Amino acid sequence: MAIKRGARGGARNSASRVSHALSVSQVTNLIAASEFAETIGLPFNRMITVHWQGAGIPLLGMAKATGRFIDLLTRALARHAFKTAWLWVHENGDRKGGHAHILMYVPAQMVSIIGKLQKRWLRTITDSPYQCGVICSRPIGGRLGLEIGNPALHALNLETALGYVLKGADAAAVKSHNLTRVEPGGLIIGKRCGVSQNISPKARKDDKKCLRF
C-alpha cells in the first residue's frame, strides 16, 4: 500500500493577499489541527524555524520556499515508509525578517537522516550556499521520543510551542482563545499559515462523519 504523505492543503498563495496577523479562524484551525494530529497518532514532536530572509528569499517568495521545504521533508519520510502531519506559520520581524515556524511529526529514528538532508534542501531551494543560522530544528520538550515516554510532559511542551507559533494573532483571536503570548506578526504577502491535508478541516470533518456510523 502506498504511503500517504501529509500533502499541502489550503488556498493557493497570492501576491495580492496581504496580512499582518493571524485571524480567529486561522488560530482556530491551527489549534484543531494540532489536536487532530495527536488523534491520528502523528503528534507534533519537532519545531523547525527557517529564516528565509537570511537565506536570501524575498517576502514574496517565502510561501513557495516553505512549501518546497515541507514537500522535500515529507517525501524523505515517505521513502522510509513514515507518515507525518504538520502546520506552519509565517512571521516577519524587524530583526529576523521573513521566517517560517513549522510544527511537525518526525519519528525519532529519522531525525539524524533529516538533519543531514535539510541543509542540502535549503541549498536547492535558494540556489545558494547554506548560511549559518538559517535553520533551527529542535525536539519539542527538549528530547526525542518524549511524546511516547512521557505524553503528559510532551503535551505541556507542545502547548507552549503552539502558543509561540500563534503569538502573531490579532486581538480578536487572542481574546477568543485566551492566548498569553502576543507579539507583532509582521507584514506577510500570500498565505500566512497552513496545515497538512490529513489534519485539515475536511479531514477532521470526515473523521467525525465516520464516528457517527
Q: Which residue has the cell 457517527?
A: 212
Q: Give the per-residue pLDDT at 40.
A: 97
pLDDT < 70: residue spans in the chain:
1-15, 209-213
Q: Record the cell numbers describing residue 37, joined without a space.
A: 494530529
The domain limits of the chain are 18-211
What 3-state DSSP class applies to 189?
strand
pLDDT at 94: 83
Measured CA angle at 30 (ends 116, 133), to 5 deg: 30
pLDDT tens digits along 7-53 = 444 445 556 789 999 999 999 999 999 999 999 999 999 999 999 99
pLDDT at 71: 98
8 A C-beta contact, residue 9 and residue 195:
yes
In the chain, what percentage of residues exceed pLDDT 90?
84
